[in-house]
Structure 1
Amino acid sequence: MIREFAEGVRLLLRGFGTWRRRPGLMALGLVPGVIAAIVLLAGLVPLALSLPVVADALTPFADGWATEWRTALRLAVGVVVFAAALALASAVFSALALAIGDPFYQRIWRAVEVDLGDPPPADGGGFWTAVGEGIRLVLLGILIAVLVLLLGIVPLVGGFLGPISGVVLSGRMLARELTGRAFDARDLSPADRAALFRGSRARVLGFGVATQLCFLIPGGAVAVMPAAVAGATTLARTMLQRTPLATVPG
């Protein structure tokens, strides 16, 4: 499992190698990420600045506590609230970037498929497919954010459990979303996709967690998105090799 997780991380790094082969194409992939990041920063920055007020409002029962305990609780609450916001922001960023940048990311996906050999004849979805997937991604992001908040209120371990769960769940969601184009192009059924993800759980998780952690670095989401699209294309190909489906070309 550890080896497979590490292989997922390596596939993201391999995605960065596409810059060496297709620098102009990958540079175009930065544009939608910049636009999506500007939109999200307009919401995240005010939230970050108001976290002390939010934490105070959520914990009025702690007003009479000793200063050190009150401070520790409200710090933990602030961390959990921001972790939930980041989980949702990750989903919204991906949805916006994929919808805005569909033509760019489609070209990156196709270039990687061609480099790998035997590309599928069809393109993976289109603009409206990206919009539909984006809406689904945002809804999943909301569910993850709520779950992170609920885990965050667990006594003693919530401040740790909430953020970690947010990274893992968001990473898994990103990996599934970014491999979607390769599977759409091969016209895979939901059952086929489920079989592929069952056969490569640790690898998918490694790729997704590495991508999500990069997204948490300031400016990381913009810089990583083109490489994540390229790496996810290779990830999808390795999943097909590990769990062959007789009806799938490529």
Structure 2
Amino acid sequence: MRDLGRGFGYLMKGQRWVGRHGRWFGFGLLPGLVTLVLYAGALVGLAYGADDLTAWATPFADDWASPWQGLFRGFLTALVYALGLFLAVITFTAATLLIGQPFYESLSEEVERSEGGSVPSSGLSIWRELWISGRDSLRILLRVVLYGILLFALGFIPVVGQTVVPVLGFCVSGFFLAEELTSVAFQRRRIALKERLALLRGRRMLTLGFGVPLTLVFLVPFVAVFLMPGAVAGATLMARELAPVPDADPVPEQEPDASPAGTPHLRKDQPTH
């Protein structure tokens, strides 16, 4: 249980770090604000077009008598919008990280620099990093969808579906949210997705202590925008513990010229006899 509190501690440390570095906090807000505007526009468009989408998808209901047609299509419209909102919530972090890759990369590097020690560098171009980040995010999204389908099915089990399953759902979401956020620091260490997941599973309680509280707060995307810079900073601090980078070997000091055994070392200005 100590790891659980330690993971939450990293979340708080990250928020305090950006609180002490206001310039980096503002810098880290930009990708989240851009993503929020894009998602808000998409949800508004979906709200206006959901009726037409439902009517287009259900031509067999055109001749249904009132009120059955209205009730049926109204239910489907609400379902479509709820699905869009769910997808927006679970993809918001991945989209923000993808859009803000250069921003969060710089923020993460600054966190490591402020903590001392070696600052790793992937050595990859920005486009290569974006490709890897997008590919890995898609793989994580597929895993989340599969777990979501399984948990949805388990939700129909009496009692368990209303108690245990929601808790499992938050744990799954928290684990993968932590993976997404630590990926910024892990990718700079050239750690592949499979290895990242193994590291996080090896310290599962640490990962959940970081990710689950954040998941609860990230249910409100507007709040997520303001917490994202600190979340990246905290994830970087946690990644330093999970995959520390050894300091560069110190440059050996130059030893003075050795003198023959039994002969004292003479200064240049010391006369010889």
TMscore range, shorter length: 0.7 to 0.9
1:136 to 129, 136, 139: 139
Provide the rounded CA distance (Å) in 2 between the counterparts of 1:120 and 1:237.
Answer: 10
1:58-109 deviations in whole A, cap 9, x for unaligned? xxxxxxxxxxxxxxxxxxxx9xx96x87764443111210111111111111
Shift in alpha-carbon separation, 1:27–1:151, aligned structure 2, 3 A: farther
Provide the rounded CA distance (Å) in 2 between the counterparts of 1:197 and 1:240.
Answer: 10
Report the Cα offset of residue 32 of structure 1: 1.7
Report the Cα offset of residue 189 of structure 1: 5.2
1:205 to 200, 205, 208: 208
Give me the TM-score of the superposition, normalised by structure 2: 0.67
Shift in alpha-carbon separation, 1:215–1:154, aligned structure 2, 3 A: same
Contact 2:43 2:84 in 1 (8 A): no
Map 1:1-250 → 2, pairs under 5 A: 1=1, 3-41=2-40, 42-43=42-43, 46=47, 88-123=87-122, 126-188=129-191, 192-193=195-196, 196-217=199-220, 219-240=222-243, 249=246
Structure 1 runs not aligned, ≥5 long = 51-77, 242-247
Q: How many residues align?
A: 215
AA paired with 1:214? V
Deviates more, 1:120-129 or 1:172-181: 120-129
Contact 2:29 2:225 in 1 (8 A): yes
Provide the rounded CA distance (Å) in 2 between the counterparts of 1:38 and 1:103.
Answer: 19
1:191-234 deviations in whole A, cap 9, x for unaligned? 75455324422111110112111202462211111111100000
Provide the rounded CA distance (Å) in 2 between the counterparts of 1:178 and 1:9.
Answer: 14
Shift in alpha-carbon separation, 1:7–1:85, aligned structure 2, 3 A: farther
Provide the rounded CA distance (Å) in 1 between the counterparts of 2:207 and 2:31.
Answer: 24
Provide the rounded CA distance (Å) in 1 between the counterparts of 2:38 and 2:216.
Answer: 20
Provide the rounded CA distance (Å) in 2 between the counterparts of 1:172 and 1:124.
Answer: 28
**Which structure features the higher share of helix residues?**
1
Report the Cα offset of residue 20 of structure 1: 2.9
Provide the rounded CA distance (Å) in 1 between the counterparts of 2:158 and 2:43.
Answer: 29
Taking only aligned residues, the RMSD between alpha carbons, in angstroms, comes to 3.3
Sequence identity (%): 37
Provide the rounded CA distance (Å) in 2 between the counterparts of 1:200 and 1:124.
Answer: 28
Shift in alpha-carbon separation, 1:188–1:100, aligned structure 2, 3 A: closer
Shift in alpha-carbon separation, 1:43–1:184, aligned structure 2, 3 A: same
Structure 2 runs not aligned, ≥5 long = 52-77, 248-273
1:121-175 deviations in whole A, cap 9, x for unaligned? 4148622222222322332332233233212222233233343222110110011
